[in-house]
Structure 1
Amino acid sequence: MIRLPMRPGVIHKSARDLPVPAHLADWAATCASFSWPQVRGELAGTEAGVLNIAQLAVDRHAQGPHAHRTALRFLGAGAAVSDVDFAELKSLTDRFANALAALGVGAGDRVFVLAGRVPALYVAVLGALKHGSVVTPLFSAFGPEPIATRVNIGGARVLVTTEALYRRKIEKMRASMPSLQQVILIGEGDAETRVPGTLDYAKLMREAPAQPPVIRTGPADMALLHFTSGTTGTPKGAIHVHEAVLTHFATGRYALDLHDDDVFWCTADPGWVTGTSYGIVAPLLHGVTSIVDEAEFDAERWYRILQEQRVSVWYTAPTAIRMLMKAGPELARKYSFPQLRFVASVGEPLNPEAVWWGQEVLGRPIHDNWWQTETGGIMIANTPAMDIKPGSMGKPLPGVQALIVRRPEGGGVQVVDTPDTEGELALRVGWPSMFRGYLGQEERYRKCFAGDLYLTGDLAKRDADGYFWFVGRADDVIKSAGHLIGPFEVESALMEHPAVAEAGVIGKPDPVVGEVVKAFVSLKKGFEPNEALNLELLGHARKRLGAAVAPKEIAFLPTLPRTRSGKIMRRLLKARELGLPEGDTSTLEGGA
């Protein structure tokens, strides 16, 4: 077990603390000798110029000694358990790729997947990648309008979903999605006879040829389109290419420390980038068994999974950790998980108390790490052999160069060399999973870079030991339960209500989910603020956006603070809500 810290605030480690030797035992030496071409060489096995995420994640093992090792273990919402080994996963994904080809879906066409954590979702994602389609997994808790917005931005040709989700969220909106040519329904029986204008997943799979498809994708071919919300405007579609697989493999080794015999559980939904990169791709690349729980969060169920499935590496989110903490240590102590050797967290900064809670209750500290949808993979991490400074993001991984910069008023950027000095976190370009554009927003993409630096928009600092510390976001994006929520999207939905004149949305700190969405609304003439209208607006937003995105609180104001150019000052709303200094209000409408 890890010893108590030798000095306050640091969890010190040695080789005795590691049940198995860590891949990243010597951070400095590994970083010095690391190269991305070496990683590419290790994953070699395809013809020259060909690189495909699904082929490397699935076929490479299905044709080797791990063919009959369980790749994915699905835990049903009840007690049902079903295993899919690598050989079967290859067969299923081959069939799905061939089914797409039979439908006339071409390389580069967009395939969107909207479903719970069911086997067909994983088959569809990997099969579409194998076919050369561009894949977007959507979060199933989204409401109809956010789904339609993303489908239209991405130009989705195919949507794979369940009959229930289709009827609730797609059917009435389908006419507003002109690019959508085929909808494939997952379910029992022949869904297409019950739902006009759809195709049945099981029937397509039965009729699809079993032979392996010809794989033609190269490193620079578009593979994944992940949506991330900004502070204004519509969601941004971040483009990732098949070469990203090199980052997924390297970070699975160094940040998650995956070994050949691990049982791995990533709790993230595939509709979130973590659930794709580390819930699907990275563990398959390493040939380990992944646990997939179809049920929603339940503290006792999660502890039972850790125990019964003998999970050794667990990747989860701060929100889930805080909910487990809220359930109390007594519940955790009803279970035993001696195989659990490494716990990691991502999604938002992990507070020090949660790191120590892991040490005291689980027997392992929680290892925080940092990355973004745009980076495609983990960039900065607390790794197993590294001393932990609770509250820190850790250190950059091999192949990643992180810097703190400032943007002077005159333009350009300046690198900050002084330790413990706040600035913007920047990454030197060159890692393979770096996003290659925002779909249809080239100017917005260019603004993310200064020379060879990607400017993350996150504020951070680096201490004298090289550890990075998150300070805050440089924009207004709300991070709630691991989901990034753009205020503009919520405001737009609220303003569709006939009573609403204007709306402003902020993230309000919450001890469980990080932030909850709070909306400030001014009403049109003839409407009066009251509890009935408050509830009506909350219901309206939930219907439009889904529970994950909709505001949890609404406050009525006579007017909202605006700049002279008409932009709502969310920063000022937040400062007033939390009793913080209002800062410079010179641009405020009617201000000095």
Structure 2
Amino acid sequence: MPEGNPKETIHKDAAPRVRPNLTDYDRARAEFTWVRARAALEGQPGGGLNIAHEAVDRHAGSDRGGKVALRCVAPDGTADSVTYAELAGRTSRFAHVLRSLGVGRGDRVFTLLGRCPELYTAVLGTLKNTSVLCPLFSAFGPDPVEQRLRLGDGRVLVTTAALYRRKVAERRASLAGLEHVLIVGPGAGDLPGTLSFDGLMATAPERFTIPPTSPEDMALLHFTSGTTGAPKGAVHVHEAVVAHHATAAYALDLHPEDVYWCTADPGWVTGMSYGVIAPLVHGVTAVVDEGEYDARRWYRILAEQRVSVWYTAPTALRMLMRATPRQGPHDLPASYDLSRLRFIASVGEPLNPEAVVWGQEVLGLPVHDNWWQTETGCIMIANFAACEIRPGSMGRPLPGVEAAVARADCADRRSPTPPSRSPTSAIREWRACSV
């Protein structure tokens, strides 16, 4: 356990290595407008907006095309790079694959994949095609997979042979709307009713013109966990990319030169909003770890990939806290060069104060907690790089976000009303009676 007092406020260095994007909280809130946030993106001619264009094509078509977009670490520890130009070609190929199958605007494309390069290709190629992407958690059992495919009216599923056999094959007959199953890697030839993802990609063109995309066009369909009943679908439109971009700048302090690692599974909203979309929209290099959790592996990735911004979960941090050799809590992380790491953030569940202090004492950096939900699609409340941290606090509302505390038994509560200045499905302001 770290020596620091988990109740003490943590003050920041007056001269950080990198100037934070948000240095004056009150001024940022006063000056922020969603119109200006939208103007920070390129957009399409005529006012259109497409997430995949902002995340890939606008970088690939500039002098950033040769920059590394994805740094993919295989289970054996070897790493391969994918540039923005290469990712643009791959995602365009997948958009053509969908077109060749008759899949178009608004059709639902599901992914049941782990953290792998093909996931990024499928996600962004789907959005280029103006189809709707719905990610599934690869650890789901057959029941939740079937349930979500049915609720989401899945027409296409991209998965592996092993996952298909274990979770979908026996239930395929009950999913009348599921027309196409694309198998990543080997095995498609042995599975009736499936197609080879790699085979289709090999013959598809590398250039694709993204159709005009309305900011209000449906882009993402996420499902809640189902812990309080049947899983509920949360729809996010292409204009949500405005919030992905703005919140990643403020809450994660992303800069173009960063190497960024989000450990969240892409089957959940964190892994999609901040593991796939936000880092690429910012033009950073994103680390993709295809292996399973192991404390030494994680420290090795942080060191070898020169990670500067790390977004992870409280559970993972507590596992790292316990993974300390008998010599002392500093010995394991001290075995690796973590000098490039400058910002750590966490989300997914309440972050205990001891974990915040552990980061400060052992890693030399406090952990910045933040809060949001599947329904919001982006971070609402956060601790910021330039602001002090009170361990145990989720922080303060982001610029452009209004937060309030509502009494549970308030009889005068009204329906959620979107502020006029926020993008639909990206930000919602809850207006309720005062406490």
TM-score normalised according to structure 2 size: 0.93
Q: CA deviation at 1:413?
A: 5.8
One-letter amino acid of the counterpart of residue 13, structure 1: K
**1:429-508 → structure 2 map (5 Å cutoff):** 429=419, 431-432=422-423, 434=425, 453=430
Structure 2, unpaired ranges of 5+: none
- Seq. identity, %: 56
Match of 1:137 in 2: 135
Q: Secondary structure of the equivalent of 1:54?
A: helix
Q: Give the whole-Å Cα distance in 2 for the aligned partners of 1:453 and 1:353.
A: 31
Q: Give the whole-Å Cα distance in 1 for the aligned partners of 2:210 and 2:249.
A: 29
Tell which has more relative contact order, 1 or 2 (C-alpha 8 A, sep 6+): 2
Q: CA deviation at 1:363?
A: 0.6
CA RMSD across the alignment? 2.0
One-letter amino acid of the counterpart of residue 273, structure 1: V
Given the alignment of the two structures, is residue 250 of structure 1 paired with residue 249 of structure 2, yes or no? no
Match of 1:61 in 2: 59
Q: Give the whole-Å Cα distance in 2 for the aligned partners of 1:296 and 1:231.
A: 25
Q: Structure 1's 410 and 23: CA in aligned 2 closer, same or farther, altered over 3 A? A: closer
Given the alignment of the two structures, is residue 194 of structure 1 paired with residue 194 of structure 2, yes or no? no
Q: Give the whole-Å Cα distance in 1 for the aligned partners of 2:229 and 2:401.
A: 31
Match of 2:344 in 1: 343
Higher strand share: 1
> Could you report, residue by residue, the CA deviation over 1:327-368 in whole angstroms, capped at 9, with x for unpaired residues?
022222211201100000000110110000000111100000
Q: Structure 1's 24 and 435: CA in aligned 2 closer, same or farther, altered over 3 A? A: closer
Q: Give the whole-Å Cα distance in 1 for the aligned partners of 2:141 and 2:226.
A: 18
Contact 1:247/1:433 (CA < 8 Å) preserved in 2? no
Q: CA deviation at 1:407?
A: 4.7
One-letter amino acid of the counterpart of residue 381, structure 1: A
Q: Secondary structure of the equivalent of 2:404?
A: strand
One-letter amino acid of the counterpart of residue 124, structure 2: L
Match of 1:221 in 2: 217
Q: Give the whole-Å Cα distance in 1 for the aligned partners of 2:203 and 2:277.
A: 27
Q: CA deviation at 1:12?
A: 1.1
Q: Secondary structure of the equivalent of 1:404?
A: coil
> Which is greater in Rg?
1
Structure 1, unpaired ranges of 5+: 415-425, 437-448, 456-460, 462-592
Q: Secondary structure of the equivalent of 1:66?
A: coil
Match of 2:179 in 1: 181
Contact 1:129/1:135 (CA < 8 Å) preserved in 2? yes
Q: Secondary structure of the equivalent of 1:453?
A: coil
One-letter amino acid of the counterpart of residue 120, structure 2: Y
Contact 2:136/2:268 (CA < 8 Å) preserved in 1? yes
Q: Structure 1's 258 and 211: CA in aligned 2 closer, same or farther, altered over 3 A? A: same
Q: CA deviation at 1:194?
A: 1.6
One-letter amino acid of the counterpart of residue 51, structure 2: I
Contact 1:350/1:368 (CA < 8 Å) preserved in 2? yes
Q: Structure 1's 405 and 427: CA in aligned 2 closer, same or farther, altered over 3 A? A: farther
Match of 2:14 in 1: 15
Q: Give the whole-Å Cα distance in 1 for the aligned partners of 2:84 and 2:431.
A: 37
Match of 1:237 in 2: 233
TM-score normalised according to structure 1 size: 0.69
Q: CA deviation at 1:406?
A: 2.1
**1:56-455 → structure 2 map (5 Å cutoff):** 56-188=54-186, 191-230=187-226, 232-328=228-324, 329=329, 330-408=331-409, 410-412=411-413, 429=419, 431-432=422-423, 434=425, 453=430
Contact 2:74/2:290 (CA < 8 Å) preserved in 1? yes
Q: Give the whole-Å Cα distance in 2 for the aligned partners of 1:134 and 1:361.
A: 42
> Could you report, residue by residue, the CA deviation over 1:496-534 in whole angstroms, capped at 9, with x for unpaired residues?
xxxxxxxxxxxxxxxxxxxxxxxxxxxxxxxxxxxxxxx
Contact 1:255/1:378 (CA < 8 Å) preserved in 2? yes
Q: CA deviation at 1:453?
A: 2.2
Q: Secondary structure of the equivalent of 2:233?
A: strand
Q: CA deviation at 1:428?
A: 6.1
Q: Structure 1's 271 and 26: CA in aligned 2 closer, same or farther, altered over 3 A? A: same
Q: Structure 1's 367 and 222: CA in aligned 2 closer, same or farther, altered over 3 A? A: same
One-letter amino acid of the counterpart of residue 96, structure 2: N
Contact 1:70/1:83 (CA < 8 Å) preserved in 2? yes
Contact 2:43/2:50 (CA < 8 Å) preserved in 1? no
Contact 1:406/1:413 (CA < 8 Å) preserved in 2? no
Q: Give the whole-Å Cα distance in 2 for the aligned partners of 1:203 and 1:90.
A: 18
One-letter amino acid of the counterpart of residue 55, structure 1: H
Q: CA deviation at 1:212?
A: 1.7
Q: Give the whole-Å Cα distance in 1 for the aligned partners of 2:51 and 2:407.
A: 36
Contact 2:220/2:236 (CA < 8 Å) preserved in 1? yes
Number of positions where the alignment pairs a residue of Structure 1 with one of Structure 2: 424
> Could you report, residue by residue, the CA deviation over 1:117-152 in whole angstroms, capped at 9, with x for unpaired residues?
111111000100110010011110000110000000
Q: CA deviation at 1:215?
A: 2.2
Q: Secondary structure of the equivalent of 1:146?
A: helix
Q: Give the whole-Å Cα distance in 2 for the aligned partners of 1:10 and 1:428.
A: 34
One-letter amino acid of the counterpart of residue 225, structure 2: S
Q: Give the whole-Å Cα distance in 1 for the aligned partners of 2:413 and 2:311.
A: 37
Q: CA deviation at 1:297?
A: 0.5
Contact 1:263/1:313 (CA < 8 Å) preserved in 2? yes
Q: Give the whole-Å Cα distance in 1 for the aligned partners of 2:227 and 2:20.
A: 40
> Could you report, residue by residue, the CA deviation over 1:289-337 in whole angstroms, capped at 9, with x for unpaired residues?
0001001100000001111111000000000000000002222221120
Q: Secondary structure of the equivalent of 2:287?
A: strand
Q: Structure 1's 435 and 253: CA in aligned 2 closer, same or farther, altered over 3 A? A: closer
Contact 1:318/1:350 (CA < 8 Å) preserved in 2? yes
Q: CA deviation at 1:218?
A: 1.1
One-letter amino acid of the counterpart of residue 11, structure 1: I
Q: Give the whole-Å Cα distance in 2 for the aligned partners of 1:427 and 1:162.
A: 42
One-letter amino acid of the counterpart of residue 148, structure 2: R
Q: Structure 1's 294 and 454: CA in aligned 2 closer, same or farther, altered over 3 A? A: farther
One-letter amino acid of the counterpart of residue 237, structure 2: V
Q: Give the whole-Å Cα distance in 1 for the aligned partners of 2:391 and 2:76.
A: 37
> Could you report, residue by residue, the CA deviation over 1:262-289 in whole angstroms, capped at 9, with x for unpaired residues?
0000001100100000000011011110
> Could you report, residue by residue, the CA deviation over 1:32-79 in whole angstroms, capped at 9, with x for unpaired residues?
001111111110242123111011000010011110110001100002
Aligned match for 2:30, one of 18, 29, 32:
32
Q: Secondary structure of the equivalent of 1:405?
A: coil
One-letter amino acid of the counterpart of residue 396, structure 1: P
One-letter amino acid of the counterpart of residue 9, structure 1: E
